[in-house]
Every structure is written in C-alpha cells, then in structure tokens.
Chain A
Amino acid sequence: MNDHVRHRVVVLYGSQTGTAEEVTSRLLMQSRGSVFKCVASAMDDYPIQDLVNEDLVLFVCSTTGQGEPPDNMKLFWKFIMRKNLPNTCLSGIRFGVLGLGDSSYAKYNFVAKKLFRRIQNLGGKSLLTIGLADDQHEWGCDVAIDDWSRNMWQILNSIHPTKDGFLNPIESSLPPPRFRVTMDDTNMEGEDIVKSMVEIGCYTTGHNVSPSKKQPYYASVISNKRVTAADHFQETRLISLNVSPVVDHMKYDPGDVIMIQPSNLSQDVNALLDILPFKPDSLLTFHSLDDEIDASTNIPNKGTTLREIVTKYLDFMSVPRNRRSFFQLLSHISCDEMEKEKLTELGSPEGTDERYSYANRPRRTILEVLQDFHLTAALIPLERIFDIFPIIRPRAFSIASSPTRHQGEIHVLVAVVKYKTRLQAPRKGLCSSWLASLNTGDLVPIWLKRGGIRFPSKQHCILIGPGTGIAPFRSAAHERTSNGDSGCTVFFGCRNFSSDFYFRDEWKDLNVDLHVACSRDQEEKIYVQDHIKEEGEKLFRLIWEDDASVFVAGNSKNMPDDVKSTFLQIFQTYGKMTSQEAEDYYVTMQSKKRYQQETWS
C-alpha cells in the first residue's frame, strides 16, 4: 500500500489503567486498510513541538483520581495549559476528543472537557462534539465510544472519501490482520524458554536507569503469608519481594506505588490451550504487516511460544470489552451455523441487551465465552490472537514496607478478589489470585511509580486508612519512627479485631496514636469517621495550630466523601466556621498538599 496517499491521523491518549489505551488500539484497528494512516502515542511520549504542524488529531483521555489527568499525559497537560501559548498556535489542526469517565464522580470527565476547550481556544477546529463515555451507563463506556467512533469516521470520510483499493473504517467487514505468523515445530525446552524470557526486555543490574514497564525487574518472592484469620471470608496476604540486588535503582518513599505485571494461573492457561487448535510449545514469529505504531506493548515478536503468550500477555480471564471487535470478529471466523448466528446476534447493535445479559452482567470471561463457542474457538487463526484477546494490564499497589526498616524488600498488602455472580464458578481477580498462588522463589515483574501522596517529615500527619488503605500508612509509620520524624495519628477500620486487623502487633512499637474501628465487634457499627468525629477537637488543634496534614487511602467509593464531611463538620464545630468557610478551608488545604488522597477501586 502506498503510504503517501494515506492521510495521517494522530491519536494521542492519556490512560491510567489501560482503558483509554485499548480504545485507541481499537480505533487503529478500525483504520487498518483505510485511507487513514493512524499513528498512536501516549500524550507524554509524543514530541509536542510537532503538534502545531499536524492536520488531524484525536485525543482519547480518561479522568482519574479526583478529576486529574492520567500519569502518561501529565507533562502534556502542564504544557498545554501554559499561559504564554498564543491563541492561534493550533489553528492548523482539526481535532476530536473522546473522554472516558464516571458520572458518579463530581468532576465527571473533567480532563476531556477541559482539553477540548483548551485546544479550541488555542485555535484548533473541532471535527465533532466531544465524546463523553460514562461507566455509569447501564452498558458502560462502550455506548458513547461506539457512537463517537462512528460519527468521527463518518466525518473523516466526508473529508477524505474512501477510494478504490481502500477499506471504509465504518463498515463491519473484517479489518485485515496485523501480523503474519510462522510456527516452528521444534519444541522449546522449559529452560530455554525461561532464558529467552529473561533476555527479552527485562531489567538487569548494570543499567543506569530504573526498572520500567518496558524493562521490569523480576523480583523473587521472599514470603507470601495470609494475614486475615483462616475463617474470615476475605483472604488478604502480605507478600514480601526481594529487591536487594537492585536496591539502588529502586529507591522509594512511603506513599510510593509498586506496579506489578501479573500472569495467568496455569490451570486457566491449560483450559484455554485445550480449546485453541495449536501446539502450545512451538516457536512463534510474528511478522508485522501493518506498521501501526503501538510501542506501548513489549510483547516479544519472536523466540516465544503460544504457551508463554497465553500465560504472560493475553487477558482471556477478563470480560469481553467491546462488541464490535470481539463478537463480530468471532462471527467472521465462525463456520458453525448455530454459533455463527448467535455470535452475529451478540455483536449487532440490536443484540446489545442480550450481550450485556450474557457477558457483562455475570462477568463472563473470554475463556468461558470461547468454551460456549468451542467450534469457533477451534478456528481462531494465530494472526488474530492480539485482535481477539486484550493484553494483561499491570496493577498498582501502595507499598507497605519502609525503606529503612525493611531494607532490600518491598511489601504489598493484597486483598484477594473473589465473588459470585449467577455463574457457578466464582469470579476471581487476575492479579490478586496470581499473587496469592506464588511460592518463595517465584518471580514477579515489577517497577516503581511515584505515589500521589507525600508525607512531610516535620509535620504531624493524620492518616486515615481503613482496610488495605492502611498499607502506605504502615510504611510511613515505620519510616517516621526510624527517622525520628514527627508523629502521626492513625485511624484504621476493619471488621473484627481478631479477623482483619492488619499489622495488629506492630503498632505498639511505632510512634503513632492509633484508633481502630472494628465495625462488627459490637452491635452498632463503628467506622473510621466515627472515631474521627470523637477526636474532633484534638484534630482541629493539630490542623489549625500545628500545621498537620491529612491523608486518606483505601478502597471505597464513599469513604473519602464520608471522611471529608466529617472534617468539614469538625471545622465548623471547633473552628467556628460557616459551611462555606469550611469548604473553602478544605480546598485551601488541598492546594497546599495538606489534604491528600490515594483511593482505588
């Protein structure tokens, strides 16, 4: 294909957990073989000086945290908001924005909305209205994503109509595959696989840089202990990883985050290999056919086997993400009349309700879908592997260890995700289940990320962390006690003193004023905010007179809001503020980094 006649479309994404990145991949897939040559990049990886000379630019961005831009667009964000940028500098570009958000948050899709307005006021011309995808929609983000994509392609088609020899991105015909795959039947021995795995893109000592997503460090497990009572419904584990060989390149502070790249469990891998028609241990080579620029994944393109790809990269234990690429693709592959008919139905716009009921609501995994459609699964060509299966995303955990007290180690506190839907087999969290299965000596690919919270050493810290939220605060408490920093007041919440009171026996040796709310140990429920309210006068003095900072961490949508309300109440009661003054004071505290939050779902 003569690339000179294809029109360049730049797709820039800001993605925190990988969703916006996947949406971008789908847009690229839709453009394969069309008159549009799409190139994609995380916003921060894009050479910003080139933006003024682009013609067609699409932005796909999530909103994260409390209305903030994702990590891989933070630099871009700071640049685009510079006051000195003249209001005509982007007058040469035509752009679209697709935002991914959740309307149960106050700052719903704020990043996308602000970006849209800013590009406009820098002179950019919008191709279409902003797309706002909402997790709160009954059918999730797909609805808005599909609508916006369709409109966007229609508009691009009107600017540059499809020509002979090119495909139309809107049509539901099968986009051409990305690869041609060759298979070498000589079986690789187990040891050879490990060796090649280690050679391909993993961090080794002797580098001057720190481990990263592209080059993770393979840390070995020192210990993996269950920390909740054996009869407690929730299994939580404290896992200790050995980083002493690379400790100089993996420096961290309390509040920092460790990224873990999980694999699939071997029983699940075997279940998938059972229904795919390939020899799992033959050597594969992927020859790229379309030069989609997708530098984010570091999947090896040779010297690997199907077993390795299925184990380490393919997220087949997740729920199918989008009807167009998943069910439609399978319907094209299928040759069995009954399966093909059903797949076509599930992939059609009219079948959305049924698809939702079949797959999304019960959280049916791709593996389970393929088991239902096993005749179709047996026909999946290797070259479609990466079109059908999404890639496993890394997960973030607040580091629970202290650099000084636990030298050479990094600890993570992991609540194993397991729950029931109407499907007989319970649903499992991929990363937490895999971590739970690890034994001493097993290897974990990791890298570090700066956390959203930072603890000032000379000020008193008020730490609120129910459940696994306590992890960064255990790190801070150990570190501060070791260094003789200012003290802290800790509010922890759990269900029972004897079941899930994490680090129960450590606190007495630490310089903290601890308050524990065990919600189910008495008739009336007691939560962290109840204890915070009780300590109101003391806390107000610490904040108002001693310049103390407040930190909130944990796994709950409502908890941060409940804690905030409690503090606003405290400001009004002991600070004699009006409700507006209390709110203003809270905002001021936030801007001065004296009220920080790190919450996760």
Chain B
Amino acid sequence: TMEKFIKQGDNVLVVWSVPPTGDKMQTMVNLIKTKSSTGVVQLENAQRLKMGGYESSNYDIAICGLFSAEEIYSNEIFAEIARVLKPQGKVYVKNNNADRTLPSTTSTLKLSGFINIMEVSKSYLSVSNAGLTESSTGDAASQILVGEKPHFEVGSSSKLSFAKKKPAQEESAKTVWNLSAMDMNDDDVELINDDDLLEEEDLVVPDATSLKGGCGTGETKPKKACKNCTCGLAEELETGKTPQPKAATSACGSCYLGDAFRCASCPYLGMPAFKPGEKISLSNRQLTADS
C-alpha cells in the first residue's frame, strides 16, 4: 500500500472526506508511524483543510482517498494540499473517480499545479492489506496516482512585508495562479470565451462629434498674423475685418523664417526657412492666392 512510499522523518498528511468505519484511521496512523517514527502524522478532513490555517511547505507526503470508494477531490483541495507540501513533496491519491462526466483526477491534479503525475505500480496494492482499503470487487482496478509539487518555491519575494496577512482563501487562489504559471506553454488549458467579458457600454462606438478637436464648430480656423507683421494682416484682424487674400508678393517681415513663424497668407508657406543670401522663386502653385 501507500505506506511503502514513506521514509523515516517524513511529515505525512492524510486527507479524508468520508469518515471511515471502525478503527481504520488509527490503524493507518500506526502503520505510517512505523515508517516514520520521528515525523509528524496528521489526519485532516478535506473540507476543514480547505478552510486554511495550515502552514505552507510543511509535509513531505500527502495521502488521499484511502478510506472510502466515494472520495473525489476538487481543484481547491488539491491546491491547498500543494501549498502545505514541501517543494518536491508528493501526493498520493487513490483514484476512486469512475464518473466520466467529471474531470479526471489526473487533470484536476494537473490544474492544481502538480507535475509528473503518474500511476503508481499496481503491485503495491497488496492483497494482505486489503482490509485497509475496504476493497471490494471494484478495488483491484482503482488506481493510485502520484503527483509532485514543483521543486522551486512559488511566489516571488518582491512584495513588501507590510501587507497584512491575507485570508487563506486568497493565499490558495494565488497558489493556483502561481502553479498554473509554471506551465505557460500548455495549450490544453481551457480558456474562457473572452467575448463574454464585454458589457453593453463596451460595445458603444464613439460618435462623430466627440471625435472633433477644439470646439468642433467646423468653421475654418481664423488666419493668424505673424509676430512682426508688416503686411497689414495683424491690423485687419485687430479691427475685426475679414482678411483679404493677398497678392503673392506680400512683404511680411517673417517670410524668411520657417512655417512656424509665417502668417497664414504667406506665399512661402510649405517651404523651409530661407538660408542667408538664398534666392527664392515661387512656383505657379504658390503664386495663386489661397482661397
């Protein structure tokens, strides 16, 4: 039986969900203690284990599913077991899950972060210990699965320790995240349908008026006069007259500067700043006043 995997000094956690009859629990504890007299043996109910409070990374071995044919374990319970196991610690599960509509125990173990999940050799199922496993006709066929907790400790230490102690439920939620993260390339993990995430307001498309810059009146922008305006545009603007389009050869004081300093009616708009002594000729396009 499973006690074959226990070494001297191992801390062992035995998880059960349905209480066994008679003194089977005591017998199991004694059996384990013959293997590891110095280690701790702890029996715990699965639901109570889930409520948390157990220290992390404490046990070398965890054993589940020993006592009854109906024990089926969940993702959360296995995640909690993973948390309390030491790195490289092992969980042994007697797989009583014959219900094909439920996710297989193997996949539940995998989702909870265990690696190297294997079936343990059936020769370990010794007939003489049949009494402990409440064997009945179906028993010889039930497997024992083993899973290993990855050998590096999960979770980073970057967080400041000022944080208050989080409730155990959150700790185990983080554990599931961390263990899942170890298998980034696993393409078999099921994904949610991300289209379901969107709510009504997410599907709203911005309307045309919200896309306008400035006051959005759509009017043509007022022409600006340059700083050293000598062509008269500045006066026109000041007196509120609509600026008249100028003939091409206006002598605005800022024409030789770049576009940043030219007035809106400058015929040299679009050309770089003049170099000293440069002769500028205007193309036909530029000679036609802007309308």
Contacts and interface: CB of A to CB of B under 8 A. Distances in A.
Interface of A: 8, 47-55, 75, 78-79, 81-92, 103, 108, 110, 113-114, 117-118, 121, 123, 132, 134, 136-139, 143, 338, 342, 346, 352-354, 356-358, 362, 364, 368-369, 371-374, 422-425
B238 interface: no
B22 interface: no
Contacts of B99: none
A89 B174 contact: yes
B272 A368 contact: yes
Interface stretch (B60-68, B136-144, B205-213): B205-213
Given A89-B170, A117-B198, 8 more contacts: A50-B156, A84-B176, A86-B173, A89-B177, A114-B198, A117-B202, A369-B260, A373-B260
A331 to B, nearest CB: 12
Closest 3 interchain pairs by CB?
Answer: A372-B258, A138-B213, A86-B173
B173 A356 contact: no
A126 to B, nearest CB: 14
Given A53-B159, A55-B159, A117-B199, A82 B259 contact: no
Interface of B: 75-76, 111, 154-156, 158-159, 163, 166, 169-170, 172-174, 176-178, 180-182, 184, 189-192, 194, 197-199, 202, 205-206, 210-214, 221, 224, 227, 257-261, 269-273
Contacts of B173: 86-89, 91, 123
B109 to A, nearest CB: 12
B157 to A, nearest CB: 8
B260 A358 contact: yes
A139 B205 CA distance: 17
Nearest to B167: A88
A49 B213 contact: no
Contact of A113 (B75, B198, B224, B271): B198
A82 B205 contact: no
B206 A136 contact: yes
Contacts of B190: 82-84
B137 to A, nearest CB: 35
A342 B224 CA distance: 13
B205 A50 contact: no
12 contacts: A48-B184, A75-B184, A82-B180, A84-B176, A85-B180, A136-B211, A137-B210, A338-B227, A362-B270, A371-B258, A424-B270, A424-B272
Given A117-B198, A424-B271, A52 B192 contact: no
A338 B270 contact: no
B159 A372 contact: no
A81 B213 contact: no
B165 to A, nearest CB: 12
A41 B166 CA distance: 28
A138 B206 CA distance: 12
Residue among B154, B180, B199, B260 with the highest chain A CB neighbour number at 10 A: B260
Contacts of B191: 78, 81-83
B189 A50 contact: no
A48 B260 contact: no
Contacts of B210: 137
B213 A82 contact: no
Contacts of B181: 48-49, 79
Contacts of A48: 181, 184
A55 B162 CA distance: 12
Nearest to A111: B194
A134 B273 contact: no
A78 B211 CA distance: 33
A137 B159 contact: no
Contacts of B163: 92
Nearest to B212: A138
B156 A103 contact: no
A354 B272 CA distance: 18
A348 to B, nearest CB: 14
A123 B174 CA distance: 11
Nearest to B211: A137
Given A49-B156, A371-B258, A114 B194 contact: yes
A368 B178 CA distance: 51
Contacts of B269: 422
Residue among A82, A358, A374 with the highest chain B CB neighbour number at 10 A: A82
B196 to A, nearest CB: 9
Contact of A49 (B177, B227, B273): B177
